[in-house]
Structure formats: C-alpha cells, structure tokens
Amino acid sequence: MDVALLNERVTFQKNEAVVDDVGNHRNVWTDYYACSATIGGEGLASSKEVQEAGMTVEDVSMTVTVRYCRKAVDIMSTGYRVLFRGEIYDIVNVDHMNFKKKSLKFTCRKVRR
C-alpha cells in the first residue's frame, strides 16, 4: 500500500444508544475512529441517477481505503457510517483485501438529506 495516497481525512461514526437523565433511550452517532484514507471510485458503475417524486436524484458511491488496524477491523456495514468533507456516507460493503492485514476497503453510498 502506497502511504502517499492516504491524503484525505475521514471519520468513522458508530451508532450507540444513550440514556438521558430521565431514562429515555435514543440513538446518537458518536465519533469512533478518524484516520487518513484513499478515496476512489467516485462514479462507480453502481452510481446512477434515479427519478423520485418527479426529481432526478444522483445516487453517489465511492470507496474508502484505510490502513489495517485493530479499530478499523471492527467496523461493519451496519451500525457505522463515514464522514468525508462534511458529507455522510453509509457503508455498503467491507472488503478485507484477501485478509492480508494490510488495508481495508469500504464501499460507501452518499446519504441524501
């Protein structure tokens, strides 16, 4: 893995249940892990435009590749998301890159707000 390509900062967030003073439970996103990453695949074959409610909406996908570490290996496609340049991306797939313990590749899809 070429370290020079890890030129973008990303933050992985985890969905956790928090209890307030009264005892109510609610889900919040907390920062789990921040690192440098390689961003690629903007405009993958899975990226497309779809018609919803009379509007053309772009469905953006990308890949995030990070170095292998203990915190990153615990990240799954459910319960985690990626923040990149102020935008939120859901994790669709996690690729362990043949389990060589050198890097992890996350396929992400942009969340529409």
pLDDT single digits (tens) 28-80: 999 999 999 999 876 555 556 666 677 776 777 889 999 999 999 999 999 99
Give me the domain span that covers residue 20.
3-110
Domain CATH for 17: 2.40.10.270
Q: How many domains does the chain have?
A: 1
Model pLDDT, residue 19: 93
The pTM score is 0.83
Exposure string of 49-62, with b = 16+ CB inside 10 Å and e = fewer, is eeeeeeeeeeebbb
The pLDDT tens digits of the residues spanning 97-111 come to 999 999 999 999 888
Q: Residue 40 is encoded by which pair of tokens?
A: 């690629």
What does the alpha-carbon distance between residue 21 and residue 40 come to, in Å, rounded to a whole number?
43
Model pLDDT, residue 41: 78
Model pLDDT, residue 31: 95
The pLDDT tens digits of the residues spanning 76-96 come to 999 999 999 999 999 999 999
* Start-to-end CA span in the chain (Å): 34
